[in-house]
Structure formats: structure tokens, C-alpha cells
Amino acid sequence: MTYENRTEGETGSSSSSGNQALAERVIAVTPEGTEAEYAILADPESIRGNERWMFPARIRVAPDGAKTLLNPEELAARNAAWLAEAGWTREACSRWLFTWTAVQVRCDPAAAVEAVEALGMRPGRIAEGEPFALEGALGPVILARSGGRDDRIVLTGTGPVDPAHLHEQEVRAALVVAEVSGETLGPEDAAAAAAGIAASGTVSITLEIDAAGTVWRREDRSEYTMTGSRHSDGLHRAQRTVTRVPRAEWDRRQTERAAE
């Protein structure tokens, strides 16, 4: 996954970008769904964040996209060891800390499912003409065929941005900033401060799928102008691309990068 965000406001501009990767190994395909193991590609010993205990995780993905964690006891045990290594009690669970960025301490094994869902590469059944629940859009978008190549087709959908979604994001961000800064801010006060948010613009999605419905590439884009925010008024542009590649191809690319 690669992402790039940019905001242009009256007081200046800001941007962020990054990338991450996750290995997916299909263990079994049953009438109940696809069972897969997800693992990080970095050395676990080099990771100090939540990924150190969340992965590997075995997850069953039902045909409708619903995900069930199959090894919760294993993750719970790793989480306990992770907390002990950091010198934390379970009181640290759900708290936000600030290192080079804001990080929430997660302790629920279900967090691994959320991390996999965030990639959006197994959303359930998708097809031309069908509605698709796109985060940040004001209602489902309808997928339309916009091209194809080899044995894959390309589906796209676009809809207006949902101001209520941006309001929720603003409230959540304000509460996180207050927590890591040691300030006192309640949810009601945060919601009141963000009550005047308005926005106009679009969010869109492009999916490249094969005949079996497997997503090989997903691109999410948004472009909207927001007003009424204490910190984020202006033009917002964001793009996130997730690509599935066979492990052999990934290893080949890594070898080439190392050689360069």
C-alpha cells in the first residue's frame, strides 16, 4: 500500500506519504470462505508497535467480506508478552502515545482484523452495476465498468463526500491530540467545536478484479474543500493505492532494490 495526502489552506500547505506491505498466504478455500494467514514482512524483533503482537494472524473471509479471527488465543498471549516487555499494565490499553507519530496501544486481538480490513483487498462480492459502501462517501457508490486488460476488468465508482464523516474524523483527531498533550477535552466539547464543518467534493474508487472477483489493485481518491475546521480548512487531496502481487514477484523486486 502506498498513500499520499496533501492539504492546501490559507495558512500554508502540508503533505504526508508512506507505504507498507503485508504478506497474505491462502491456507484453505471452503464454502464458509477463504482462510488466510497475514504476516508482516519485516523482522518482528525490529518492530516495537502493535504489529509485533498482531501478526501473524489467521483470518477467515466469508463470501460477503465478513472476517473472523481464527487464532485469538495466540494473539492474546503475544499481546500480554508485548505489554510486559514494554513495562505496561493493561491500563495502557486504548491509550494514545506520541513517539514520531500518535500511536494507540491496542490489546484486543480483533485489532488484527481491523488492520487487514484497512487494506480493503477482500471487500466481499463486487460486480458491475452493484452498490459499493465507500468510506467517506455520502451513501454507496455504483460500480461501473471502465476498462479491462488480460483477464481482468476495471470497475470505478464516484460519489459526493460526506461532511458527517469529516466531522467524526475532526472529533477523533481533537480527542487524540488532547490525550497525547495531557489536555482535558470531552467528546461533547470536541463535537461542539467541529459542529460547523462543511465540505464539497468527491471520493472515488477504482478496482481491478479477475473473473473470480479477486481484487488485484485498488485505488481510493478524494478531493474536497472543507470549511469550519479549526486546523484543516482548505483543499484536501488524498490517494491510496493497494496492489496484490505474487510473493515471487515481491521477492524479485526486493532483490532489485537491494542491488540498486
For 128-183, what is each residue's pLDDT tens digit?
999 999 999 999 999 999 988 878 999 999 999 999 999 999 999 888 888 888 88
- 112 and 152 co-located in one domain: no
Answer yes or no: are the C-beta atoms of 145 and 129 closer than 8 Å: no
- 178 and 114 co-located in one domain: no
E strand intervals along 11-120: 12-19, 22-30, 33-40, 57-61, 67-69, 96-98, 102-104
169 lies in which domain range? Answer: 125-260
Answer yes or no: are the C-beta atoms of 12 and 27 closer than 8 Å: no
- 181 and 158 co-located in one domain: yes
Domain boundary among 56, 87, 119: 119
- 131 and 180 co-located in one domain: yes
- 35 and 136 co-located in one domain: no
- 90 and 147 co-located in one domain: no
**CA-based radius of gyration for the chain:** 20
Q: Which pLDDT score is estimated for 181?
A: 84
pLDDT tier, 47 (very low <50, low <70, confident <90, very high otherwise): confident
Q: Which pLDDT score is estimated for 30?
A: 92
- 258 and 143 co-located in one domain: yes
- Residue 149, strand partner residues: 152
Task: Give domain status of residue 36, yes or no.
Answer: yes
Task: Take residue 143 and report the three cell numbers written for it.
Answer: 460500480
Local structure of 192: helix, strand or coil: helix
pLDDT tier, 100 (very low <50, low <70, confident <90, very high otherwise): low
Domain boundary among 67, 92, 119: 119
- 54 and 151 co-located in one domain: no
Number of domains in the chain: 2
Average pLDDT over residues 52-81: 95
pLDDT higher at 138 or 101 = 138
E strand intervals along 31-151: 33-40, 57-61, 67-69, 96-98, 102-104, 131-132, 141-142, 144-149
For CA atoms 110, 113, 117, 122, give the dihedral sign: negative
Q: Which pLDDT score is estimated for 182?
A: 85
- 137 and 247 co-located in one domain: yes
- Whether pLDDT at 82 is above 90: yes
- 96 and 175 co-located in one domain: no
Q: Which pLDDT score is estimated for 15?
A: 87
- Whether pLDDT at 222 is above 90: yes
Domain boundary among 62, 84, 119: 119
- 113 and 132 co-located in one domain: no
- 58 and 162 co-located in one domain: no
Task: Give domain status of residue 188, yes or no.
Answer: yes
Lowest mean pLDDT, pick from 94-103, 186-195, 248-257:
94-103
- Whether pLDDT at 11 is above 90: no
- Whether pLDDT at 45 is above 80: no
